[in-house]
Amino acid sequence: MQSSGCSTSLRWFWDGRHGAIARLAETRKPPRLSGAKERPLRILILCHEYPPIGGGAAAVVAALAKEYRRRENDVVVVTMGFGDLVSHESAEGIVLHRVPCSRRRKEMASPLEGLYWAARCLPLVRSLHEERPFDAVHAHFIMPAGIVADCFRRSCGVSFIVTPHGSDVPGYNRERLRAVHHLVRPWWRRICRNAARVTSPSHSLLALIERSAGECKGQVVPNGLETGRFPERPKEKRILLCSRLVERKGFHVFLEAIQDLDLQGWEIDLVGDGPMRARLEQLADLCRIPVHMHGWIDNDDPRLAALYARALVFVFPSEWENFSIALLEAMDAECAVITTDIEGNREVVGDTGLLVTPGDRDSMRSALVRIVDSFDECRELGRRAGRRVRENFDWRLIGHTYLKLLTDPGGDEESA
């Protein structure tokens, strides 16, 4: 009975004649494709994560916004408010609007916070469009940003592309969001069908999307990176781990695997925050290798860049992954990478890192021992990783692909 009530409330919220979202979509016009406008475009970016809040997806959105702006487009970002962050600002030519939604945690938002943000976004987006029309909309995360984009499409006729990032796709974050995805599945599928294009950073995530959405115009466009931003400095005997501290990231597997290892002169830097932090701190105390728990560090903080720059080795033991920005950053910093042998990670590192079985402590331990015993192999893997990022994942390449989709979302499919 409770599930039925929630479903009814969502239906009222989305479709009801007097629902919060439906009221904002009263005037419907035929969708117009963005290709009708010549450049420069006025681009609306929707995402509930944007620095300094959120994780890897926030960094992706910020970098893509800068790339759009670098190409002389007008860029407006609508994101979540948090704490004492200002509601409206302009930085590097990008106009930023933060919509208050009582978000409690810096590193992640709850589904209810996301829905509340979506409802509050719509009046602002319509008002901005009335002041000066948008030519294109790029939503990040099918929910909640896709809700806003789809309702805006219905009311104002502006087509949108949507980029999922993992947790918004059924089957990706199986334990934490299974019930939520089951509840919102009809609306989730509608967004996918109505999008001019659904762009996935990886083939593995696109397969999950197509399994749940059925018919949608899917395309793989990998995440990019602003390459060359890490300071040049001598590498040290440092092992870096950086991500949200949740169980699926597998940091506990790594710390358990190395507890009795004594690697003379080596130290570990662990960056991030989340529900696993207390447990990881306990495991760190049991390790013979010194482990430095840095907590949350903003992506644009010079301290994070310095940690990447000095680390010889980067370890990313995630159980499943879409297309990790942390991996790209480590490769750009020319760290030797040890990561898990899952499809999302393989698409990022190619043959430039050591792949281990997810959850296998012996495999993780053996890879680490091998790599720290050979400085030459460490440096060679790092140099190859840096070349791979610069040649395949630079934002100048990825941004070009996205702009082609925004100007002609119905064009031929072509992965970056």
Q: Say what percent of the chain tops pLDDT 90.
A: 67
**219 pLDDT higher than 80:** yes
Which one is predicted more confidently, 222 or 415?
222
User: What pLDDT is stored for residue 179 in this prediction?
Assistant: 72
* Contact partners, residue 325, CB within 8 Å, separation at least 6: 55, 56, 57, 59, 60, 223, 225
**pLDDT given for residue 38 in this prediction:** 52
Question: Left if phi > 0, otherwise alpha if psi is -120 to 50, otherwise beta: which for 69?
Answer: alpha
Measured distance between the N- and C-terminal CA atoms of the chain, rounded to whole angstroms: 47
> How far is the C-alpha of 80 from the C-alpha of 25, rounded, in Å?
21
pLDDT at 233 over 70: yes
What is the pLDDT at residue 276?
95
Does residue 333 sit in helix, strand or coil? coil
**Could you give the CA distance from residue 257 to residue 292 in angstroms, rounded to a whole number?**
17
What average pLDDT does the structure give for the chain? 87
Tell me: pLDDT of 308 over 80: yes
Fold match, 10-224+395-407 / 236-392: yes
Fold (topology level) of 236-392: Rossmann fold (3.40.50)
- Whether 64 has a pLDDT exceeding 90, the answer reads yes
Structural domain boundaries of the chain?
Answer: 10-224+395-407, 236-392
Residue 25 has pLDDT above 70, yes or no: no
Mean pLDDT of 372-380: 91
How would DSSP label each residue in 135-175? SEEEEESTTTHHHHHHHHHHHH-B-EEEE--STTSTTTSHH
Listed in sequence order, the residues at least 6 apart from 67 whose beta carbon sits closer than 8 Å to its beta carbon are 224, 395, 396, 398, 399
Closest CA to 232 of 160, 332, 343, 356: 332
Question: What pLDDT does 403 receive?
Answer: 94
- pLDDT tens digits for 145-204? 999 999 999 999 999 999 999 888 887 766 666 677 677 788 889 999 999 999 999 998
Q: What integer is the mean pLDDT of 50-67?
A: 91
Q: Which pLDDT tens digit goes with each residue over 108-120?
A: 888 889 889 999 9
Checking if the pLDDT of 66 tops 60, the result is yes
Highest mean pLDDT (candidates 178-182, 187-191, 233-237, 268-272): 268-272
pLDDT at 24: 41
| Strand spans (E) along 174-233 | 197-200, 218-220
Which pLDDT tens digit goes with each residue over 90-134?
999 999 999 988 888 888 888 889 889 999 999 999 999 999 999
Region 230-249: mean pLDDT is 92
pLDDT for 48 beyond 60: yes
Burial of 18 (0-12, 13-18, 19+ CB in 10 A): exposed
pLDDT for 20 equals 46
Q: What is 10-224+395-407's CATH superfamily?
A: Glycogen Phosphorylase B; (3.40.50.2000)
pLDDT confidence of residue 290: 97
Residue 95 backbone dihedrals phi, psi, to 5 degrees: -90, 130
The angle, 0 to 180 degrees and rounded to 10, between the axes of the packed helices 174-194 and 145-156 is 20
Confidence at residue 17, expressed as pLDDT on a 0 to 100 scale: 39
pLDDT higher than 80, residue 86:
yes
Is the pLDDT at 39 greater than 70? The verdict is no
Q: What's residue 168's pLDDT?
A: 86
**Cα 126 to Cα 189: distance, rounded to the nearest angstrom:** 24
Above 60 in pLDDT, residue 23?
Answer: no
Dihedral of the alpha carbons of 198, 204, 205, 207, in degrees to the nearest 10:
60
Q: Is the peptide bond before 40 cis (omega within 30 degrees of 0)?
A: yes
Q: Which of 22-26, 150-154, 205-209, 214-218 has the lowest mean pLDDT?
A: 22-26
The pLDDT of residue 300: 83
Instruction: Supply 360's token pair.
Output: 């296998």
Q: What is the mean pLDDT of residues 222-244?
A: 91
pLDDT band at residue 5 under the 50/70/90 scheme: very low
Residue 80's pLDDT is what? 95
